[in-house]
């Protein structure tokens, strides 16, 4: 890609980040800190798994769990150890050209939360969008209200990463796209395997 275009996109990403990151309040600091914590959302994951359990025969359900594990491996471990270590884009919270303008929050130990050194792309976003899209495809047709809540949930988690100062919007967009594509591919493999093994009723 042309270096001038890359510079333009990077500058646009930084500018949008500063707009989305700047409005902090003590209440929102607390809310976004916990929104970003994976364990806070475990009841949501448990509810999603319960809905799938109700829909699928037990052997299909076990296969579903196996493919969820595969999806999380692809959206988390693989991306961390390939993409982040290759692209090596500094997080806003670690960028010396930007760090003085970044709004950050204090963690449980009284330190500014800055995340790891590199941030492209957001694994929080790829993981959660991957799970959301995979669940949506498995449960299709999904009631409209559930679908709206599902994608509002993962979007809120994604925004929390910008709010906390550890990801640019471009990191979020790339993570969401990666997670969604990975979920679609793995769903197709899941559906093919499920049909071949004749687990469906």
- C-alpha 183/C-alpha 64 separation (Å) is 12
- C-alpha 201/C-alpha 57 separation (Å) is 7
Lowest mean pLDDT among 20-29, 174-183, 191-200: 191-200
Judged by DSSP in three states, 143 sits in coil
Mean pLDDT of the chain: 91
pLDDT at 198: 67
- C-alpha 15/C-alpha 21 separation (Å) is 10
Write down the H helix ranges in 22-72.
Answer: 26-35, 42-55, 58-72
Please enumerate in sequence order all residues whose Cβ is within 8 A of that of 171, keeping only pairs 6 or more positions apart, or say none: 89, 119, 120, 121, 122, 125, 161
Give 109-160 pLDDT, tens digit per residue.
888 999 989 999 999 999 999 999 999 999 988 888 889 999 999 999 999 9
Domain boundaries along the sequence of the chain: 3-196
Judged by DSSP in three states, 91 sits in coil
Peptide bond into 96 cis (omega under 30): no
pLDDT at 54: 92
The percentage of the chain sitting over the pLDDT mark of 90, rounded to a whole number, equals 70
Long-range contacts of 34-40 (CB under 8 A, 24+ apart): 35/156, 35/157, 35/160, 36/124, 36/157, 36/160, 36/161, 36/164, 38/124
* 154-182 mean pLDDT: 96
pLDDT band at 35 (very low <50, low <70, confident <90, very high): very high
pLDDT at 196: 82
pLDDT at 1: 57
Partner residues linked to 90 by β-bridges: 118
* 169-186 mean pLDDT: 96
pTM listed for this prediction: 0.91
Give 62-120 pLDDT, tens digit per residue.
999 999 999 999 998 877 778 888 888 999 999 999 989 999 999 888 889 999 899 99
Judged by DSSP in three states, 118 sits in strand
* 21-36 mean pLDDT: 94
Please enumerate in sequence order all residues whose Cβ is within 8 A of that of 174, keeping only pairs 6 or more positions apart, or say none: 120, 121, 122
Whether residue 201 has pLDDT greater than 50: no
Measured CA angle at 117 (ends 175, 155), to 5 deg: 30
Please enumerate in sequence order all residues whose Cβ is within 8 A of that of 113, keeping only pairs 6 or more positions apart, or say none: 33, 93, 104, 105, 106, 107, 164, 165, 166
The percentage of the chain sitting over the pLDDT mark of 70, rounded to a whole number, equals 97
pLDDT at 199: 58
- The pair phi, psi for residue 106, each rounded to 5°, is -90, 130
């Amino acid at each position: 890609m042309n270096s001038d275009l890359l510079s333009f996109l990077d500058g646009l990403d930084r500018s949008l980040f500063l707009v989305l990151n700047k409005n902090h309040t003590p209440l929102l600091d607390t809310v976004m800190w916990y929104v970003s914590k994976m364990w806070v959302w475990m009841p949501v994951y448990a509810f999603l798994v319960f809905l799938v359990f109700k829909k699928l025969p037990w052997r299909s359900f076990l296969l579903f769990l196996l493919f969820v594990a595969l999806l999380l491996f692809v959206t988390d471990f693989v991306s961390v150890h390939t993409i982040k270590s290759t692209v090596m884009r500094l997080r806003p919270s670690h960028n010396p050209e930007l760090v003085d303008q970044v709004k950050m929050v204090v963690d449980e130990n009284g330190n500014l939360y800055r995340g790891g050194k590199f941030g492209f792309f957001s694994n929080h976003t790829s993981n959660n969008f991957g799970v959301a899209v995979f669940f949506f495809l498995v449960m299709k047709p999904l009631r409209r209200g559930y679908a709206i809540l599902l994608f509002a949930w993962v979007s809120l988690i994604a925004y929390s990463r910008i709010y906390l100062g550890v990801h640019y919007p471009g990191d979020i967009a790339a993570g969401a796209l990666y997670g969604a594509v990975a979920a679609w591919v793995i769903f197709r493999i899941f559906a093919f395997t499920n049909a071949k093994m004749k687990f469906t009723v």
